[in-house]
Structure 1
Amino acid sequence: MNSTRTGRRGPHARPVAAMIGALLLGGATAAVVALAPAGQANAVTLPGGGSLTITAPTALTLTTSDASPVRPGSNVTGTTGNITVTDARNDSLSNWDASVSIKEFTGTRTGGTFAPDVKVIPTTATLTGTGTAAVTPAQATALHGTPQPVQKATQVTSTVATPVTATWTETIQFTIPPTALADTYTATLTHSVS
């Protein structure tokens, strides 16, 4: 995808979405949530060469905090696999922000929906590559439909030949509303970088 850049940071956000599925309420004995295979690497090609890429995981398992069956009112938690941003832009001292958002959960049988207060807690990113960056994780962030920041990179020095890669995981936590109906629910978790 080609994009125009403005100044040091341009509007070159590219989301990587993953579907959270198979969240069973009712007689379920475990909460296993799988992400649809949508977490492929997405790159933005920029004028002047180089790219800014984010890759999100394709699987996530959620469990209740006390290993009990998933029911309305259950506290649910899970940790993502690696989320990776690769900055190979031909730009000196550029910045980037990684964000995440979630849409409401929708029941596959009843069509019922709920939008819990989902909290994401990112780990500190591990940097690799020959480029450099100062990457800072956000504090625990409440997710909504609009993207919320999870990592911020400043003073990035990278080129196509000397990229820098930041990799981290995230803990996802939420409580199933007490009014949720027994069903299998799905929601879309989207990571983006700009």
Structure 2
Amino acid sequence: KTEQIKTINDVALTDVPKYVNNPLNALTMLKRFTSDWHILQQYAHNVNNTKKIVQNLTNTRKSLKFPSESDFDEAAGNLLRIQGIYQLQPEGLAMGEVSGVKLGSTMSWSDCLEIGRKSVQKGDFMIAKFWIEAALGKLPSEGTKSTIMSANASKEMPTINGVGSSVIEKARLEIMEALVTTEFRM
């Protein structure tokens, strides 16, 4: 996870204002701060001998102001407005592309799923369906189970005991559940 964050950080450092002002990058960064940070905190609290890690988390929390869920909601809403105005396809946006030009970072399946869920909350079920289907398309096939974390750099899924491909199955189930809910609400 730290390697993935470092890779994103290295890309952002080449031109910070340009990277941060890009709505695709801003959205994925906010998601990392709002949801992934909690996953990393839970991990740190559950690892043995974590006194130093917990102390660092506590100090970091005191000295930094983290984005809120409403910040992420606003960024997702902005991306959806841009998509609607310019009639952009979710698959292209998920790859960080606008009209075939690479402008932002690639989104993970959980990024796409989250945008789909935000669309459902706003009552835009057709757009939600497209984003959720984009999330499904980003999942690795059954034969490439080891690539689930690279395909989903933003969310680590816990495994279920006794099931060989539980990470992919759990992700696929989560996406299919969102798709069924969206179809039902349409």
In our comparison, the structure showing a higher alpha carbon Rg is: 1
For the criterion TM > 0.5, the same-fold answer is no
More strand by share: 1
Higher relative contact order (CA 8 A, sep 6+): 1
Q: State the TM bucket, normalised to the shorter chain.
A: under 0.3
